[in-house]
C-alpha cells in the first residue's frame, strides 16, 4: 500500500526539478521562442532607425588639425608675448620709484599700468605652462635690459620715461596686431573649407585683442603726459623701437 505513495511523490519531485524544461518542452519553449523573436524584431527595428545623436557629423564639430607651421607660429607667439610682458613689468618696476618721487601725482597711473602688465604676464605664463611651450632662453638678458631701460629713462625725467612707454607700446601694439591678423586669416581659411574654429583659439584671439587694447591705452597715457616733449624725441623713441623689434625677432626664435 505504500508503493503508490512513493511513486506519486517521485513524480511531483520530478515536475518541480530544474529539468522540467527539457522533460516538458511544450510548456516552456514556445513562450521563450516568441520572446526571443520579438526582441530580435524590436532590436532590428530600433537599429534600423537612425538616431540624430548617433550621426558623427552632427554630434562632433569638424576640426582641422594644425599644421607644423601653425604649431610653430602659436608656440613662438606665446613665447615672445611672455617675454615682452616680462620686460614691461620690469620697465615699470624700475621707472616707478624715481618718477613717483619726483612726480607724486603719477603714482596711480604707474600702479594702474603696472597692474595691467602684470596681468598680461600672468596670462601668458599660464598659456605657456598649459601648452608646454618653451620660454625664451634669453630671459636673464631681457630682464637686465628692461630694468636698465626703465631706470635710465626715469632718471632722465618724466618726458623721457613717457617717451619710453610710447615707443614700447607702439611696437607692442603693432606686434599684437600682426598676430591677430595671422590668426584671422587662419580662421577664414578653415571656415572656407568647412571647418570650425576651436574654443581655445577663439579665446586666444579674444585675449590678444584685450591685451592689445590695454597696451594702446598705455600709449595714450604716455602721450597725454608729455611723451612728445622728450628731447631728442625722435632719437630716443627710434632707438627704443629698434631695440623692441630686435628683441621680438630674437624671442620668437630663441
For residue 1, what is its C-alpha cell?
500500500
pLDDT of residue 58: 55
pLDDT along the chain (254 residues), means of 10: 41 39 37 36 43 53 86 95 96 97 96 97 96 93 96 96 97 96 94 90 96 97 96 95 95 90
pLDDT on residue 55: 54
The pLDDT assigned to 59 comes to 57
CA–CA distance, 173 with 147 (Å, rounded to integer) = 21
Structure confidence by residue, pLDDT tens digits, 2-44: 444 434 444 344 434 443 333 333 334 443 333 333 333 444 4
pTM of the model: 0.74
- Report the pLDDT value the prediction gives residue 15, as an integer from 0 to 100: 38
Dist. CA 251–CA 77, nearest whole Å? 9
* Residue 208 · residue 82 · CB < 8 Å: no
Q: What is the pLDDT of residue 33?
A: 37
Q: Which of 159, 52, 45, 148 is nearest to 102 (CA)?
A: 159
Distance CA 110, CA 112 (A): 5
Amino acid at each position: 500500500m505504500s508503493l503508490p505513495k512513493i511513486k506519486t511523490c517521485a513524480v511531483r519531485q520530478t515536475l518541480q526539478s530544474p529539468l522540467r524544461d527539457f522533460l516538458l518542452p511544450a510548456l516552456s519553449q514556445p513562450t521563450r521562442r516568441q520572446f526571443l523573436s520579438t526582441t530580435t524584431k524590436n532590436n532590428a527595428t530600433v537599429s534600423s532607425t537612425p538616431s540624430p545623436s548617433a550621426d558623427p557629423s552632427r554630434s562632433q564639430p569638424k576640426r582641422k588639425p594644425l599644421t607644423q607651421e601653425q604649431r610653430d607660429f602659436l608656440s613662438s607667439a606665446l613665447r615672445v608675448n611672455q617675454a615682452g610682458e616680462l620686460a614691461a613689468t620690469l620697465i615699470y618696476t624700475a621707472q616707478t620709484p624715481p618718477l613717483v618721487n619726483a612726480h607724486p601725482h603719477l603714482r596711480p597711473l604707474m600702479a594702474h599700468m603696472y597692474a595691467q602688465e602684470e596681468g598680461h604676464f600672468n596670462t601668458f605664463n599660464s598659456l605657456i605652462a598649459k601648452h608646454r611651450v618653451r620660454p625664451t632662453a634669453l630671459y636673464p638678458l631681457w630682464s637686465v635690459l628692461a630694468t636698465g631701460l626703465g631706470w635710465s629713462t626715469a632718471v632722465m625725467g618724466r618726458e623721457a620715461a613717457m617717451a619710453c612707454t610710447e615707443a614700447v607700446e607702439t611696437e607692442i601694439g603693432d606686434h599684437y596686431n600682426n598676430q591677430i591678423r595671422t590668426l584671422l586669416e587662419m580662421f577664414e581659411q578653415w571656415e572656407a573649407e568647412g571647418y570650425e574654429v576651436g574654443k581655445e583659439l577663439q579665446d586666444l584671439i579674444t585675449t590678444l585683442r584685450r591685451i592689445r587694447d590695454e597696451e594702446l591705452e598705455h600709449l595714450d597715457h604716455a602721450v597725454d603726459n608729455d611723451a612728445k616733449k622728450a628731447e631728442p624725441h625722435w632719437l630716443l623713441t627710434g632707438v627704443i623701437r629698434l631695440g623692441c623689434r630686435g628683441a621680438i625677432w630674437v624671442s620668437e626664435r630663441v
